[in-house]
Amino acid sequence: MDLNRFKADTALEDEGVWTTVDAGSGCRLKIARIGNRRYRETMARRLKPYRRALRAGTLDDQVTERITAEVLAETVLLDWQGLERDGAALAYSREAAAAILVDPAYKDFRDLVVELAGDQEAYRERDLEDAEKNSSTSSAGSTTGADASTS
């Protein structure tokens, strides 16, 4: 077995990849890999004030969930296209992403973001032939990363 089949593209992990989540509506999410450098650094910084409670196992689950959702919005859910609520298009902003990911009513959406961010194949280093094929079929090149499709 060739070890290179496990080689990740660290730029894609940090910059994110576009993933189609609903082909019918054209909804796509730009997702960085969970555990990327910025995620680790931001999570460590945000949890620092709670170190004592973390060690003691007394940190409230709601605090942990809120911090995790906010860090996901800052470092993992980097953009979206075609996302709507009640028929109205939602413009992407870090604040809008945080509000959605923190809201318990959208827990399933947050779980989807985490699932997509953990998809190892989306962040694999592609060989040169695949990279050339993807770049020739991409749009104006305004986004970074591959376009993975899920159903």
pLDDT, one tens digit per residue, over 108-129 is: 999 999 999 998 888 887 653 4
Structure tokens at 24: 């019918």
Give dist(CA 125, CA 140) in Å, integer: 22
- Report yes or no: 20 and 43 within 8 Å, Cβ to Cβ: no
pLDDT at 136: 45
Give dist(CA 38, CA 40) in Å, integer: 6
Give dist(CA 90, CA 109) in Å, integer: 14
On the question of pLDDT at 137 being above 80, the answer is no
pLDDT, one tens digit per residue, over 15-64 is: 999 999 999 999 999 999 999 999 999 999 999 999 999 999 999 999 99
Structure tokens at 43: 């999570």
Predicted TM-score of the model (pTM): 0.78
Residue identified by tokens 């995790």 is 68
